[in-house]
Amino acid sequence: MASLGTFTERPVLFGRYRSLVGVVTSPAEDGDVGDPSCVFINSGIIHRVGPNRIYVRMARALAARGFTCLRFDLAGIGDSLVDPDAPGSDPQELMDWDTADALDFLAQGDQGQTFILLGICSGANQALRMAAADDRVVGAVMIDPDTYQTPGTYVRHYWRRVRDVTDWPGIIARRVGKWGSRLPGDPRPPRFLRATLLPAKAEMERTLDSLVERGVRLCYVFSNRELYYNFDDQFFREFPSMRHRPGVSVKYYGDADHTFSAPLVQERLVEMLLRWTTEEFDADSVEATSDAIEIGS
Amino acid sequence: MNPILFGSRERPLFGVVSPACGQRRMRGIVICGPIGEEYQRAHRALRVLAQFLARDGHDVLRFDYFGTGDSAGEGFEMDMGGAVADAVSAVEEIGDVAAVTRCTLVGLRAGAAIAAQAANRVHQVDRVVLWDPVTDGEEYAASMLADATPLPGNHGGGLNVRGFLFSRGLIEEIARIDVSTYTLASPEVLIVISEDRPRHHELARHLSDRGRNVSFFVHEGPRSWTEMGWSGVGAIPAPLLEQVVTWHR
């Protein structure tokens, strides 16, 4: 175990096949440990440190505030192996098992009976899915999950593109013919990555409703993702019934990219995360927050 | 796979040991990764390389430099001297964990420069693998600076390079990397290349002229350290990894 001032860290190997690798970050003083604990879920196939190492920064800041955190790799990602004896081959099923194993591991080690799940992109989708499936989950922080566009999303997206003359060659090239190749600077991702696994909107609304009824705290965070999410109120325009519901929080960072790569934006994100967790889950005082998360402190 | 913490109390380092499977060859192998976004992308390929080598009877340790990955510290606290000391510490760790006295250092990109310098500081290292080594530090540092934005003084006064924090000192150290950085004491050297450049051939000549037994292998193709699609990670260049395994037999 490494003691790093306000928190300690230890690597762990767990899961029903002891094939999952993770790092537990705990508050330095045992007396501060309490529920809920936080579990970070891989963003895509990036290993457990998260894009630009942001999960490390988040976990250490949360531990300094009294929350035990587990960052781990789902089977097949990072250092975790897929056990050849694992039944089934459905990737979603394997992800569900692994996430449940992570919660069991912390619960069996007296490191939490209730949990907050956190994730970026696909990790956010998985956080919501497991929140709905497992009653031990009391909170979910979902950063840039798959989302539904509103008419306003399209209007803003295309209006920006029309206004930005540097985009015109790309737009014209695509409109003139399918042969129009991508031009440098065109940020459009390949088609296979644009495919979405979102359920029907009505089904999603039912899921969110049941989570709110159960008292699960939901923290949605969105960056500026142009065609996907591009204005402050988009979530509540998608789901008007969620507006003013208790425990539903939505933050939009118009100056952030998908992986929150700018350190100063990361710092604001971590600060918001600490404020949200302390307000929603009554941990240590929020006052000392900035000392704990300042990069380089 | 066994995740471990090692190093000193002031400088705890995270590593993953892949113990040898089957017939042990009694050789430890320490893998030094690249830095910044290249490490995030290459993590997958480095893990697969460790698995390949472990299956072939080697005890392998991958680790994160101080200030990177799961190790303690912030990105801008990393410097070359510290990273070399971390690599030395990793060699000692695999020696203790696996009870081996012979060791190979494998380094990818900037990690190759770190591995080369560490190899000269520990007598157990008799083989070095340089995988797409950075041989033109000035060009490499310039590419980092092209996308860098400065950070305020309370953020270490460093630079944000595509989402990763670097000290200006580290970038200056990187800029000084050239062929002479790889003046190795180890007699056996393998250079594996996925991006063939004249400087790599110059490096091979530099080492051969100094009496090193140099093997050179080129397999141009997808790279482990550049992004594959929009996935955030790189490719797994299997032929190149297999070459590293074969060279050790």
Q: How confident is the model at residue B112 (pLDDT cuts 50, 70, 90)?
A: very high
Within 13 Å, how many C-alpha atoms sit on residue A53's CB side? 27
CB-CB contact of A169 with A183 (8 Å): yes
Minimal C-alpha gap between A53 and chain B (Å):
7
Q: How far apart are CA B178 and CA B137, in angstroms?
A: 6
| CB within 8 Å: A81 and B1 | yes
Q: Where are the alpha helices (DSSP H) in B56-106?
A: 80-98
Minimal C-alpha gap between A244 and chain B (Å):
35
Q: How far apart are CA B165 and CA B153, in angstroms?
A: 13
Helix axes A122-133, A201-214, angle to 10 degrees: 60
**Mean pLDDT score, B157-168:** 90
C-alpha B224 chain-centroid distance? 12
Interface residue A6 vs chain B (CB under 8 A): no
Interface residue B72 vs chain A (CB under 8 A): yes
Minimal C-alpha gap between B66 and chain A (Å):
13
Burial of B93 (0-12, 13-18, 19+ CB in 10 A): buried
Q: What is the DSSP string of A261-280?
A: -SHHHHHHHHHHHHHHHHHH
Task: Please give the residue that has the higher pLDDT: either B138 or A169.
Answer: B138
φ, ψ for residue A230, nearest 5 deg:
-145, 15
CB-CB contact of A119 with A143 (8 Å): yes
Q: How far apart are CA B47 and CA A288, in angstroms?
A: 39
Residues of B in contact with A193 (CB under 8 A): 229-230
Sign of CA dihedral A133, A139, A141, A142: positive
Q: Which of B24, B42, B25, B44 is nearest to B33 (CA)?
A: B42
Residue B249 has pLDDT above 50, yes or no: yes
Interface test with B, best of A3, A9, A14, A47 (most B CBs within 10 A): A47
Interface residue A12 vs chain B (CB under 8 A): yes
Q: How far apart are CA B23 and CA B19, in angstroms?
A: 11
Sign of CA dihedral B137, B138, B139, B141: positive
Question: What residues of chain A, 233 to 272, have a C-beta less than 8 Å from chain B?
Answer: 259, 261-264
| CB within 8 Å: B16 and A79 | yes
**What residues are paired with B216 via a beta bridge?**
B191
3-state secondary structure of A154: helix
Q: What percent of chain B has pLDDT over 70?
A: 99
> Closest chain A residue to B69 measured between Cα atoms?
A49
Among A43, A78, A81, select the one facing B43 at the smallest CB separation: A78
- Rounded to the nearest 10°, the torsion over CA A144, A146, A151, A154 is 70
Among A21, A46, A189, select the one facing B40 at the smallest CB separation: A46
Over residues A139-194, the pLDDT tens digits come to 999 999 998 888 888 888 778 777 776 767 766 666 665 544 444 444 444 444 44
Interface test with A, best of B16, B38, B70, B236 (most A CBs within 10 A): B70
| CB within 8 Å: B3 and A13 | yes
Over residues B178-218, the pLDDT tens digits come to 999 999 988 999 999 998 999 999 999 999 999 999 999 99
Minimal C-alpha gap between A214 and chain B (Å):
35
> Closest chain B residue to A20 measured between Cα atoms?
B1
Interface test with B, best of A8, A79, A261 (most B CBs within 10 A): A79
Residue B157 has pLDDT above 80, yes or no: no
Q: How far apart are CA A33 and CA A283, in angstroms?
A: 10
Residues of B in contact with A44 (CB under 8 A): 231-233
- The pLDDT score that the predictor gives to residue B186 is 87
Phi-psi region of B227 (alpha: psi -120 to 50; beta: other; left: phi over 0): beta
Q: How far apart are CA A31 and CA B246, in angstroms?
A: 53
- Among all chains, which residue has been given the structure tokens 């990109």? B109
The b/e string for A117-126 (b: 16+ C-beta within 10 A; e otherwise) is: bbbbbbbbbb
- Among all chains, which residue has been given the structure tokens 């580290």? B170
Please give the structure tokens belonging to residue B130.
């340089």
φ, ψ for residue A95, nearest 5 deg:
-65, -40
Please give the structure tokens belonging to residue A196.
């979405």
Q: How far apart are CA A254 and CA A10, in angstroms?
A: 36
Q: How far apart are CA A117 and CA A97, in angstroms?
A: 15
The whole-model pTM stands at 0.90
Q: Which of A189, A143, A146 is nearest to A50 (CA)?
A: A143
Over residues B61-99, the pLDDT tens digits come to 999 999 999 999 999 999 999 999 999 999 999 999 999
pLDDT (tens place) for every residue of chain A, 297 residues total: 666 668 999 999 999 889 999 999 999 875 545 689 999 999 999 999 999 999 999 999 999 999 999 999 999 999 999 877 776 678 888 899 999 999 999 999 888 899 999 999 999 999 999 999 999 999 999 999 998 888 888 888 778 777 776 767 766 666 665 544 444 444 444 444 444 568 889 999 999 999 999 999 999 999 988 788 988 999 999 999 999 999 999 999 999 999 898 888 999 999 999 999 999 997 554 343 333 333 332
Over residues B34-53, the pLDDT tens digits come to 999 999 999 999 999 999 99
| CB within 8 Å: A45 and B40 | no
- The pLDDT score that the predictor gives to residue A112 is 86
DSSP assignment letter at A80: P
Q: What is the DSSP string of A177-204?
A: -TT-PPPTT--PPPHHHH---PPPHHHH
Residues of B in contact with A190 (CB under 8 A): 229-230
Q: Which of A3, A98, A106, A108 is nearest to A48 (CA)?
A: A98
Residues of A in contact with B1 (CB under 8 A): 13, 21, 79, 81
